[in-house]
Amino acid sequence: MSHLVIAIDGPAASGKGTLSRKLADKLELPHLDTGLTYRAVAHQLLQNGQPLDNEAVAVEAARQVDLSSLDKDVLSDHAIGDAASKVAVMPGVRKALVELQRVFAAQSPGAVLDGRDIGTVVCPDADIKLFVTAYPRERARRRWNEMQLKGQDADFDAVLADIQHRDERDMGRSDSPLKPAEDAYLLDTSEMDIETAFRTALDIVDKSRTA
Ligand code: DC
């Protein structure tokens, strides 16, 4: 297979980001965390004191997103993630960002992209699609642990409520809602550590490539 595109979707804190990075490293493919593109739009609006619900303003910000300068450290802030899920409901914003994401996917020798709508909208013809999920409580536990490690004070119930709220917004929007593509492999990582999830995903990729 000369051009290989792997689409990885799933809800917040499902582990899809870590899994995607590990797969991309192993397969020596470039990786794009498409959540960062929505976060970059939200970040720009927040920085400029602009509203999060004005589509024309948000589309203008989306047109300025540059994939080569997405700074994960800056963009990983919790408030930016929440604002990103608000700007992500706007079709104009999605259209501008999906264009950039498709250019990334088209590069040689291929790419690993992760997000919410990669297998359904961005790359419906991807060679391999994974939908990574885990119970909300388990995802909240992982997020809470991460925050503890960073020394951030966090209330578990608030983290869980936030994850549930984010799920509702991401699954409930009318444009490109979060859902598994019909031909996606479902990977429930609730009972798996990251190494087990990685080996399971790699196995799916290997089997698909030799099929
Ligand atoms: O994966 P993340 O937490 O960085 O994503 C932040 C928000 O961006 C998420 O709540 C919804 C949106 N998003 C999206 O709508 N489509 C994508 N492909 C990726 C992210």
Beta bridge partners of 33: 114
Ligand 1 midpoint to CA 166 (Å):
9
* Tokens at 59, concatenated: 């589309």
Ordered domains of the chain (ranges, CATH):
1-30+109-211 (3.40.50.300), 35-106 (no CATH)
Question: Is the CB of 88 within 6 Å of ligand 1?
Answer: yes
Distance CA 35, CA 89 (A): 13
Other CB atoms within 10 Å distance of the CB of residue 93: 25
For range 130-143, the mean pLDDT: 96
Nearest atom (ligand 1) to Cα of 17 = 1
Question: Is the CB of 38 within 6 Å of ligand 1?
Answer: yes
* Cis status, amide bond into 109, omega within 30 of 0: yes
pLDDT per residue over 1-10, tens digit each?
A: 589 999 999 9
Beta bridge partners of 188: 133
The answer to whether 62 touches 97, Cβ cutoff 8 Å, is yes
pLDDT per residue over 5-58, tens digit each?
A: 999 999 999 999 999 999 999 999 999 999 999 999 999 999 999 999 999 999
The answer to whether 160 touches 47, Cβ cutoff 8 Å, is no
Q: Is the pLDDT of residue 177 over 60?
A: yes
Q: Quick one: pLDDT at residue 130?
A: 98
Question: Is the CB of 39 within 6 Å of ligand 1?
Answer: yes
Regarding pTM above 0.85, the answer is yes
Q: Whose CA is nearest to atom 13 of ligand 1?
A: 35
